[in-house]
Amino acid sequence: MDLRFTDAKPTDEERAAVDACLGAPEVGWEGGERTAEELRWARGGHAARARRDQLLPALHAVNDRVGWISEGALDYVCRRLTVPPAEGYGVASFYAMFALRPRPARVLHVCTDLACAARGSAALTGALAELLGPPGGAAGGVRWQPSPCLGLCERAPAALAIQAGEQGPQAHGTDAADLADPVDPAHPANLTGSVGPAGVAGTTDAVHPPYRTGPVDRSGLTGPADPRGRVDRAGLTGPAHPTGSASPATAADEAHPAHPAGAHAPAGSADAETAPYCTAVVGPATAGTAELAAVAPCAAPEEPPAAAAVPQAGQDGLVLLRRIGRVDPADLDDYRAQGGYSALRRAFALGPAGVIREVLDAGLVGRGGAAFPTGRKWEATAGRPERTHYLVCNADESEPGTFKDRVLMEGDPYALVEAMTIAGYAVGAHRGYLYLRGEYPRALRRMAHAIGRARARGLLGPDVLGQGYAFDIEIRRGAGAYICGEETAIFNSIEGLRGEPRSKPPFPVERGLFGRPTAVNNVETLVNVLPILERGAAAYASVGTAQSTGTKLFCVSGTVRRPGVYELPFGASLRELVELSGGVPEGRRLRAVLLGGAAGAFVRPDELDIPLTFEGTRAAGATLGSGVVLLLDDTVELPRTLLRIAEFFRDESCGQCVPCRVGTVRQEEALHRIKDLTGAAAAGDIALLREVGAAMRDASICGLGQTAWNAVESAIDRLGVYAGALPGSGPAAGTPADPVDGGVR
């Protein structure tokens, strides 16, 4: 096959980044200089094709080092992996976090999605435009751009700054997880190319004392942050992120040395060429703190501990969140002292079939929204005759308003490592892939650290706990594609293809990753396996309802007093959850609640007694989805919210099928036309929306197109958004007796 490589050449910097990920080329046919002898023969075939799955890590390597992927760099990556350049371009252009045109080394992603929009992201972006110029520009060596949900909804409005640059002590071809912990000995590189440079060096967890001005009182964070809260850049002072009442920074956060301020010179200067790769998360963000993070991300204030996102942290009765705030996420011994790895020991005592039987008896169903019985999926995978099976953990939670998996990985990473090991044992897999969202730098560091520590202590590797079972975990970073949350799109992404969904059947349990039987579960689903084995299936099933057993994590955000991740048993009402979170701020009136995220449905304030179960929300014409509960008060313009949902689906459609590719565009166009209209003036476009929505639901290949119309439909039919005056919202604003509507708790 003629691969038709170009004549473009990579820079030395780009070549070094790729070689650090893939290793030095062994022969000239892989991108080096060809010798006279090599011109007489060529090597490739199966061995070359087998490395196609390293395409995404190699693209990450270049993008992280230089800030964008040039034609020469892409050509070199394709030569190294024997990938046609046209296909390489198709993959690189698929992901929002990659750039194929020159841009500054520092990029600031500012969330403008639903939760952040409700908390003032429009004012924030307006102020940033005054400070840094219009989005997409390169003023002062910094580019800022609007972003879909960053999974930081409890800290809305939020921003993520990324600085491309030199890597830390590890290379892409080295096990970054082991190097994350200086007390671990070196181990064989089992995660080749899997962990990006954010795994160790140049992180915002390194704290500069001049920035630390103490915690901010969260009780004052009842509305949008002041978008013009400037920071004195000359003195390098500014407000620290709110820390709440949670435990102080952990060892994992303090393990990285600070970077000197001189490392943040504008792009193009001599200092910029030696700047380290680093990231900074800002939230709640003002224009000043966001500007500071963009200019000097390595010197930004530390993130608050994961427990700050859990208002219930430390309370008795928690199951999935019980260790967050009580256990140091970096300390394996601390985790084991709190009951860690007792579930894995019981799994080995039960055997694979026994583990599956316990999961079946417990009634565990998937927590990602589909609610498919987990035990049936594992049983089908384990029963396949193929010798090689795989486990994939879907940690690419990109549904707007969802952040529970991030909190679990940041606050209790060893729990996920243990749960993946149990799942792998049950389904007969010896390798698990953790597909982790690219916008989660701290979760990446925490998981890489935990995997390295577990391997060093014999909890991963060729002989787990001396039981003769071999299992290891490889982290693969996503790069900004909502569609990769679909279970078969994950396979394509890992395999080095465009992250587009596959037609089913065959189903993943039959033919999944690399064509082998594969079990796919999200983080919350897997972590639920631990209490099932620790307490027994009967005890687990005694909590919740007959069809929805156990507890559920809910991501509460929007215009709410106490945003965060809450854990409640299935069967609790939506009203209980809203009251637990404090309701909307004083003087506000609850207008609507969005359940299930952008792919979910709106409910009215008079429907808060809906039971939070899969069957209860279905009966009410809504959906539980992944657990998103977005509160919107009377300051939020619902037509603009619907337009943002439509823009999100238009941007995130992979374009593979016509109903979704065209339908999401037509939906957005119609909502643009009627954003200021009601009644008869909007009737024609609403009829068109119904036709388009029905076509997407019936004919789209995957859940993205099938659910893209759900929220819009519910807003039209339930809330009467375009019918005239919006429906009443219950008691008068500020009634102290009703915390749902601005009361005091």
Q: pLDDT for 431-450, tens place per residue?
A: 999 999 999 999 999 999 99
DSSP 653: -
First to last CA, the chain: 69
pLDDT confidence of residue 41: 62
Q: What CATH number should be reported for the domain whose range is 332-535?
A: 3.40.50.11540
| pLDDT of 403 over the 50 cut | yes
Average pLDDT over residues 472-500: 97
pLDDT digits (tens, 9 = 90+) for 255-296: 333 333 333 333 333 344 568 999 999 999 999 999 999 999
CB 250 within 8 A of CB 328: yes
Q: Does residue 716 or residue 176 have the better pLDDT?
A: 716
Q: CATH number of the domain at 551-633, please? A: 3.10.20.600
What is the tens place of the pLDDT at every residue in 526-551? 999 999 999 999 999 999 999 999 99
Side-chain-facing half-sphere of 563: CA atoms under 13 Å: 35
pLDDT of residue 132: 92
**What are the tens digits of pLDDT across the range 133-176?**
999 988 888 999 999 999 999 999 999 999 999 875 333 333 33
pLDDT 10s digits, 632-680:
999 999 999 999 999 999 999 999 999 999 999 999 999 999 999 999 9
Indicate whether 733 pLDDT > 70: no
- Residue 475 in this model has a pLDDT that exceeds 50: yes
Encoding tokens for residue 8? 């473009």
pLDDT tens track for 504-520: 999 999 999 999 999 99
Q: For residues 735 and 745, what is the distance between their CA atoms, to the nearest angstrom?
A: 12
Residue 413 has which token pair? 């990473």
pLDDT for the residue numbered 140: 82
**pLDDT for the residue 203:** 41
- Average pLDDT (556-584) is 98
Considering the chain, what percentage of its residues have pLDDT values greater than 70?
79
- Residue 237 clears pLDDT 60, i.e. is over it: no
Higher pLDDT, 393 or 734: 393
What is each CA distance from 569 to 481, 541, 566, in whole angstroms?
32, 11, 10
Percentage above 90 pLDDT, the chain? 75
Tell me how far apart the alpha carbons of residues 88 and 95 are, in angstroms, rounded to a whole number.
12
| Mean pLDDT, range 359-368, rounded to an integer | 96
Tokens of 338: 């709190």
Report pLDDT digits (tens) over 300-321.
889 999 999 999 999 999 999 9
- Return the CATH number of 638-717, one of 1.20.1440.230, 1.20.1330.10, 1.10.3720.10, 3.30.870.10: 1.20.1440.230
pLDDT, position 208: 26
pLDDT confidence of residue 107: 97
Please give the full DSSP string across 677-719, using - where no structure is assigned: --THHHHHHHHHHHHHHHHHHHH-SSHHHHHTTHHHHHHHHTS
The mean pLDDT of 695-711, rounded to a whole number, is 96
Residue 196 has what pLDDT?
34
pLDDT at residue 194 is higher than 70: no
Close Cβ partners of 671 (under 8 Å, ≥ 6 residues apart): 639, 642, 643, 646, 685, 689, 712
Report the alpha-carbon distance of residue 648 to residue 710 in Å, rounded. 13
Give the pLDDT of residue 588. Answer: 95
Q: What is the pTM of this model?
A: 0.86
Highest mean pLDDT pick, 45-49, 175-179, 415-419:
415-419
pLDDT at 6 (0 to 100): 83
pLDDT tens profile 618-639: 999 999 999 999 999 999 999 9
Q: If you ran DSSP here, which 8-state letter would residue 341 be given? A: T
Pairing of the two strands 551-558 and 564-569: antiparallel
Q: Which amino acid is at 104?
A: P
Are the CB atoms for 193 and 19 separated by under 8 Å? no
Spatial distance between the Cα atoms of 590 and 231, rounded to a whole number of angstroms: 34
Residue 643 in 3-state DSSP? helix
Which pLDDT band, with edges at 50, 70 and 90, does 230 fall under? very low
Pair of tokens at residue 204: 């915002």
Q: Which of 44-48, 117-121, 133-137 has the highest mean pLDDT?
A: 117-121
Residue ranges of the domains in the chain? Answer: 12-92, 106-164+202-304, 332-535, 551-633, 638-717
Span 330-336, mean pLDDT?
A: 98
Q: Are strands 590-595 and 628-633 parallel, antiparallel or unpaired?
A: antiparallel
**Does 332-535 match 551-633 in CATH topology?**
no
Q: What is the mean pLDDT of the chain?
A: 85
Interval 484-508 mean pLDDT: 96
Contact (Cβ atoms closer than 8 angstroms) between residue 193 and residue 18: no
> How much is the pLDDT for 44?
60
Instruction: State how far the Cα of 633 lies from the Cα of 726, in Å rounded to an integer.
Output: 12
| The pLDDT of residue 5 | 81
If we measure between CA atoms, which residue out of 650, 653, 645 comes closest to residue 675? Answer: 645
Q: What is the pLDDT of residue 236?
A: 30
What pLDDT does residue 124 have? 97
